[in-house]
Chain A
Amino acid sequence: MTFVAKPKVHHPRLPLNDIGLTRRDYEGSVSTLCAGCGHDSVSAAIVQACAELSIPPHRFAKVSGIGCSSKTPSYFLSKSHGFNSVHGRMPSIATGANLANRELYTIGISGDGDSASIGLGQFSHIVRRRINMAYIVDNNGTYGLTKGQFSATNDKGSTSKRGAPNLYEPIDLVSLAIQIGASFVARSFSGDKKQLVPLIKAALMHKGMAFIDVISPCVAFNNHNGSTKSYDYVREHRETVVAADYVPHAEEITADYEPGTTERINMPDGSILQLHKLAQDYDPHDRVAALHYVQSRQAEGEVVTGLLYLDPNPMDCHDILGTVDTPLNQLNEADLCPGNAALGSVNASFR
């Protein structure tokens, strides 16, 4: 089926953001995913986050791999360019795209199959390279698009729809990301917009690799009793360590938060990220402690959500490589070509 673009008539009652756009301006085409698919909720959260940030929609670049999850960049931000690439290789596309233009906001969407199986290598290395982007995995613990095979994020012992148990150890992308250099690591749940939207906003504003693992149930193949990625399981076993609320600098900080439980973090753009420390002793700045905490709760069957790790001094790949401030794709002959005169000494060096 071919989609016809929805008429984007502004509803008079829709609130305008700082640049005079409504949420509608951040939407995409109609989703073709199953009704109730967690991935659609993630897309909706992205729409809301981007709209609330008041970034012009065309300043995003959306990249994805292959899978139901990787289809979703069609379903948000239709005014920005998107690239549905090949299975497991979104990170390399994101790396190239970000190197070419450091000024765009890069959103990478992937699945658990895409990032934890076929693309585990690329996932690990983009994290190491610290590409400045929001990397979101719609984690449903299954291969949705190929109809329900186990993925590598499945917990050992959880069962498939047909009842077969998973025999292998799971890969926890959150732990891996903390370990190998992501400067912003969070986990959330597709059904929890209150937590997810601020996390996405913060991830987009973060300068460096911001990774969010979003548990996003697959209603077709993985939303049954035996799955640890189902709506019910996650609702029952969720423990929020750090709730984040992202507040753009133009806005007043609301007083909703209990003094003493709120940590305010200055973001590079001058805005403020507020962390709600629900666990008394949780410190998101301590990489080793974060890793320990995530894993120890996991051993208890708990899904820890929230902002789990935040590097206080993040760096991105452009910092590491020392590239010029002008996006590389805007440099022209005068910037790039040394000219014929410079070949004189080059030729001489080969005589």
Chain B
Amino acid sequence: MAVKYNDFVIRFANVNGSGSASANGMFAKALFRMGIPVATRNIFPSNIQGLPTWFEVRVSDKGYMGRREGVDIMVAMNAETFAEDVASISPGGYLFYDNTKPLSKELRRSDINEIGVPISQLLLPEFADPKQRGLFKNITYLGVLTALINIEFDVITGMVSKQYKGKEDLIEPNVRAMELGRRYAFDYLECPLPLQVKRMDALGDKIMVDGNTAAGLGSVYGGATVCAWYPITPSTSVAEAFEKYTGSMRRDKASGKSKYAIVQAEDELAAIGIVIGAAWNGARSFTGTSGPGISLMSEFLGLAYFAEIPAVVWDIQRSGPSTGMPTRTQQSDVISAAYASHGDTKHVVLFPATPRECFDFAADALDLADRLQTPILVLSDLELGMNDNLSEPFVWDDSRRYDRGKVLNAEQLEKIQRFGRYLDVDGDGIGYRTLPGTHPTKGAFFTRGTSRDEYAAYTESPEAYERNMQRLLKKWETAKTLVPKAEVSTGPHRHGVLFFGTTSLPMQEALDHLAEEGIGLNTCRVRGFPFGAEVEAFIRGHDKVFVVEQNRDAQMRQLLVNEIGVDPARLVPVLYYAGLSISADEIRLQISAHFSANKMSRVTEVKS
């Protein structure tokens, strides 16, 4: 049988809280260190211990990082989901299980390969403590896998030593448990399998990190000094990462004091209130949350929009509501973020797709919030936020200066005849603001919603209200030129595909497969809202644009129709919203089906 290298999906079925995460993480990291592209996905329940959890690693020499349907190797360690796990294996795939207990015959499948290893039995004479035996099970199957798929053993043992640095007494038993599995494989199994890994040099200086860590780190670099948040999966690790990195990077050397303040607030209403209060008083501040938090923050987001106060909100999207599938991924807060709140409000939204972009956008969002004096919502999701993704390394340009926007200091105020907080001096819709305590007699103003004139004096005049709302629209036009531009490919194709965030992950793979079917598409990866001119040009320049997104109601498409005013018939929705991340197959099937149903020509045509 021909050996296939570096191209398979392996899934680990475990019980939540059984200590499998670290062994599984080591598995993925080992392949990464062998220079092989890997994408990891945790599929976990909303509970702490005892429910099923899956960890999936996609190994792809081509660098396809999206989820792929089908499982080639199933490491089935959870009795409860065993039947379902066996059923999910692709024909010709491998079932790896603990055959201390024999496999009952109704679970047998003739079209897959069984690899039974008596893991529990192997561990019994080695470790007296049953709890230890339970934990070492994970490391033992890892040992078996090193032999089965040919993982370089010193890469993995090196990781064990590093992981348990400082707890040296744990290294020996871990390595022993791993070798137990490895030896068994060499002695009793056909190995390696025809599905193997082989060292590559495909990663360059890439890193493997989750988007939330990147967002927290980027907020440190971007100069955030106040972080207020309320715990919610999958966003919690944004604040935790900020805490970790500010804690080590932002301590005053002499006094040991902190150059930041983190408040775990009583709820999301307070979290956003603290962010707005801090930003009103000139500190860069941000919060991290998920859909339910955005709902709670809505009133305040409206106030910040009207009162023109900077704020940065990370929304790590999940499927709704709180008793929905809170630990599953979606892109279903697009509308609620873009139009959060009451009255005529709309917000600047950024859509990062990689950890590096999370890092960059964290700092960019703080600049944009100050420049535009308005809330900036950054829409990530569970897929990007909580899974280790391959990414370009983090880079900071040391010559970069924070853009604090239009803030007048005392000297500048001194030179001004009459300060008007909401005067459009520069014609870009953005007024100059002042911070409390700046000048003894000049620049103070009273912040409220809209019942005020250009000088922040109280008024309920209809004309003043309209003038203000018009100026806010002018500011919106300015925002279009400042948000990150869409990434547009200009191929020779008549039709296009538009996507954003993690929908980008499977896109190259989908496009490659569509090309094999004679379908060529130009691409537009949206990175910011309001949409820049390039997005409008892309849509107008193609007959049909497939809008691919992970929600039921085609929210990005709605936004495009609403904001750009294109004929909705030209925007074809491609939707997936079952809670896993969208796969290349899904995208390919839906687009291909649309071509067939509408008798669209399949050969790639050059635009006339």
Contacts and interface: CB of A to CB of B under 8 A. Distances in A.
Q: Is A bound to B?
A: yes
Interface of A: 1-3, 29, 56-61, 63, 73-74, 78-86, 89, 91-101, 103-104, 121-122, 124-125, 129, 317-318, 321-325, 328-329, 331-333, 335-340, 342-343, 346-347, 350-351
A95 B207 contact: no
Contacts of B461: 2
A194 B368 CA distance: 49
B212 to A, nearest CB: 13
Contacts of B441: 58, 79
A331 B225 contact: yes
A331 B282 CA distance: 10
Most buried by A among B270, B275, B438: B270
B14 interface: no
Contact of A321 (B258, B282, B285, B396): B258
B269 interface: yes
A340 B223 contact: no
Contact of A103 (B250, B257, B437, B444): B437
A332 B444 CA distance: 23
Given A324-B257, A329-B282, A343 B393 contact: yes
Contact of A2 (B206, B258, B269, B457): B457
Contacts of A332: 402
B324 interface: no
A347 B207 contact: yes
B220 A95 contact: no
Contacts of A350: 207-209, 393
A84 B270 contact: no
A82 B444 CA distance: 8
Interface of B: 32-33, 205-209, 217, 220-221, 223, 225-226, 228, 245, 249-250, 252, 255-263, 265-267, 269-283, 285, 299-300, 303, 307, 393-398, 401-402, 434-441, 444-449, 453, 457-459, 461
A263 B18 CA distance: 62
A47 to B, nearest CB: 15
Contacts of B221: 337-338
Nearest to B441: A79
Given A81-B434, A100-B226, A3 B458 contact: yes
Nearest to B252: A324
A314 to B, nearest CB: 19
Contacts of A84: 446-449
A317 B398 CA distance: 33
Given A59-B437, A82-B446, A324-B257, A97 B281 contact: yes
A58 B208 contact: no
Contacts of B279: 96, 100
Contacts of B260: 323, 328
A83 B447 contact: yes
A76 to B, nearest CB: 11
A318 B395 CA distance: 32
Choose among B275, B307, B447 the residue with the greatest number of A CB atoms under 10 Å from its CB. B447
B256 to A, nearest CB: 8
Contacts of B266: 121-122, 124-125
Contacts of A1: 458-459
A337 to B, nearest CB: 6
24 contacts: A3-B457, A74-B458, A81-B434, A81-B446, A82-B445, A82-B446, A83-B447, A84-B448, A86-B300, A89-B269, A92-B271, A95-B273, A96-B276, A97-B278, A98-B277, A99-B283, A100-B280, A101-B281, A121-B270, A329-B283, A337-B221, A343-B394, A346-B394, A350-B207
Contacts, number: 235
A1 B460 CA distance: 7
Closest 7 CB pairs of A and B: A92-B273, A96-B277, A96-B278, A100-B283, A329-B282, A100-B281, A81-B436
A92 B225 contact: no
Given A85-B273, A92-B270, A101-B282, A323 B261 contact: yes
A93 B283 contact: no
A158 to B, nearest CB: 30
A96 B255 contact: no
Given A92-B273, A321-B261, A328-B226, A81 B395 contact: no
Contacts of B393: 343, 347, 350
Contact of A61 (B257, B401, B437): B437
A347 B276 CA distance: 32
Contacts of A61: 281, 436-437
A1 B267 CA distance: 37
Given A74-B446, A89-B273, A346-B217, A97 B436 contact: yes
A322 B226 CA distance: 13
A330 B376 CA distance: 22
Q: Which of B32, B437, B444, B449 has the most CB of A within 10 A?
A: B437
B438 to A, nearest CB: 7
Contact of A104 (B223, B437, B446): B437
Given A81-B437, A323-B257, A346-B217, A340 B225 contact: no
A298 B332 CA distance: 52
A58 B258 contact: no
B437 A95 contact: no
Interface centre among A89, A324, A329 (most CB of B within 10 A): A329
Contacts of B276: 85, 92-93, 96
B273 A58 contact: no
B205 to A, nearest CB: 8
A338 B217 CA distance: 10
Instruction: Give the one of A29, A60, A100 with max B CB within 10 A.
Output: A100
Contacts of A324: 252, 255, 257-259
A99 to B, nearest CB: 4
Nearest to B269: A89
Contact of B267 (A103, A121, A317): A121
Contacts of A60: 436
Given A86-B299, A343-B394, A347-B394, A73 B446 contact: yes
B584 to A, nearest CB: 26
A338 B249 contact: yes
A340 B303 contact: no
Nearest to A99: B261
Contacts of B457: 2-3
Given A2-B453, A95-B273, A328-B283, A101 B437 contact: yes
A322 B260 CA distance: 9
Contacts of B280: 83, 93, 96-97, 100
B396 A340 contact: yes
A139 to B, nearest CB: 22
A46 B459 CA distance: 25
